[in-house]
Amino acid sequence: MAARTLSYLLSRSRSLSSSSGAASLLPSLGGKSGGWRNSNNRYSTAAVVEELITPQVSINYTQHLINGKFVDAASGKTFPAYDPRTGDVIAHVAEGDAEDVNRAVAAARKAFDEGPWPRMTAYERSRILLRFADLVEKHNDEIAALETWNNGKPYEQAAKAEVPTFVRLFRYYAGWADKIHGLTVPADGNYHVQTLHEPIGVAGQIIPWNFPLLMFAWKVGPALACGNTIVLKTAEQTPLTALVVAKLLHEAGLPPGVLNIVSGYGPTAGAPLASHMDVDKLAFTGSTDTGKVVLGLAAKSNLKPVTLELGGKSPFIVCEDADVDKAVELAHFALFFNQGQCCCAGSRTFVHERVYDEFLEKSKKRALRRVVGDPFKKGVEQGPQIDTEQFEKILRYIKSGIESNATLECGGDRLGSKGFYVQPTVFSNVQDDMLIAQDEIFGPVQTIFKFKEIDEVIRRANSTRYGLAAGVFTQNLATANTLMRALRAGTVWINCFDVFDAAIPFGGYKMSGIGREKGIYSLHNYLQVKAVVTPLKNPAWL
């Protein structure tokens, strides 16, 4: 996300936590009490009972988009899309399989080999992307409402942060379109050597459900700026907003076949795309385990290059000189943002022993003040988890933490009896070998660790198979410099977190992925480099 929009979210979060009237923003409570209780019985919560807001948006696009037209699945099958607030079906979407992928790839191949997109001037491609950004900006509220309805994230987050960031990303890549060029290279002997940067061809792209719009922009923006054509598979949980913005992209002037969208499940739609012999490049964002499968399918087919943005278990390190109140709020944001469904979430909170007790007590109080409810309601910070599978997975991890003798400070159970709400949960006395310390929970579960020395926390922070991101909270420049270099992660945020400007590259070390998204680095994923060598006769100079 852009720095300005994340700043808005964080400042809003602080205002909610510090306001003496914060409790008044909580939804009305009633019904049976619930929640794991620790030995001191210090936490319990009641089920949420509230009148849900009906989204003011209609669902108009549920088919595949192939060769510029919305079409049914070849099999005629559909699958349900749900409202995570209730678990109710809100739409039936075309269910893609290998035949649909074949049709989409054929359209993309023809559009690349014979169509105007790679052949038009880069400036004209830029103008189409800019017109598209303007159209999305015009429809900001409707797109945000659909994103919230299908995903469960707070509407304020979608409308004031994510859709504006989507627009910013496309304007950024529109600016790059006519600035992609090669080099003139000096060589020994009488030769003129130049490099050409050419579009790679048909790009297969598979995006996740936690940030459907932003992942669309991260993938589609650079691919189009470079002159490629695309087959995009959406996540089966969140297929709706991609179809809406793709319609707007065609209204902006995108030629048919350049962007094709197939909805469906991983094994029946994602796997055929990953293994397709006529796809020239593959980009995937999702879990590390699925990333391994995708990489294997690409290798076994035509050895297509693959970029992967995968899981994380990011450390958030609070040093002894930290302003505890600010550190508590930032660590809370780093973990609980987007219901904890964020690959780079600061999910391992390391706190220096000198400030540990104060930090823990304030973190618990902050989690208890977190406003959970209907994401369409103003002031709500946390909506439901995406679906029943993710919801039950989070609860299993919470149970594992309790059984491992971590201390449950608050939360620990579902919230309400309908929908996929999980109480904001905080564990203390977490040990590095516990499952909740090793695995990516992908939910609103904060795990707090104690450390004593900088060398110790570096070793422990790096002791994971992941390396996506890290956060450091300190007022000491020398400490910051030491940690930013020692932490093996693709992004290190110093006294901030989740700053996703369009120009800042994002990606992981180790099993958190291959390659980088955003910025100039993402363009490299969608270009081939061709060296051209020509003899020179009697050159005036070399």
Partners of residue 230 on adjacent β-strands: 203, 259
> How far is C-alpha 515 from the chain's CA centre?
15
Contacts for 122-125 with beta carbons within 8 Å, 24 or more apart?
Answer: 122/177, 122/178, 122/179, 122/180, 122/227, 123/177, 123/178, 125/174, 125/177, 125/178, 125/224, 125/225, 125/227
Partners of residue 428 on adjacent β-strands: 407
Neighbours of 11 (CB within 10 A): 10
Report residue 467: phi and psi, to 5°. Answer: -165, 50
Find out whether 264 and 81 touch, Cβ atoms under 8 Å.
no
Tokens 């659909």 locate to 146
Output the 3-class SS for 28-39.
CEEEEEECCCCC
The yes-or-no answer on residue 198 being catalytic is no
Helix (H) or strand (E) holding 491: strand 491-494
Neighbours of 465 (CB within 10 A): 12
Partners of residue 284 on adjacent β-strands: 206, 308
**By CB neighbour count within 10 A (0-12 exposed, 13-18 middle, 19+ buried), where does 110 fall?**
middle
- Distance of alpha carbon 339 from alpha carbon 76, whole angstroms: 35
Q: Which amino acid is at 10?
A: L
- Distance of alpha carbon 97 from alpha carbon 523, whole angstroms: 29
Assign 367 to helix, strand or coil.
helix
Find out whether 218 and 209 touch, Cβ atoms under 8 Å.
no
Find out whether 332 and 308 touch, Cβ atoms under 8 Å.
no
Tokens 């979060």 locate to 13
> What is the Cβ-side half-sphere exposure of residue 272, based on CA atoms within 13 angstroms?
19
Q: Which amino acid is at 167?
A: V
Measured on CA atoms in the order 130, 131, 135, 137, is the torsion positive or negative?
positive
Q: Measuring CA to CA, which residue among 438, 441, 440 is closest to residue 425?
A: 441
Residue 224 in tokens: 């189009």
Find out whether 424 and 370 touch, Cβ atoms under 8 Å.
yes
**Rg of the chain taking only CA atoms, in angstroms:** 24
Q: Which amino acid is at 215?
A: M
Check 147, 156, 309, 409 and give the catalytic one: 309
Residue 514 in tokens: 């291959």
Q: Which amino acid is at 62?
A: T
Output the 3-class SS for 261-272.
EECCCHHHHHHH
**Enzyme catalytic residues:** 309
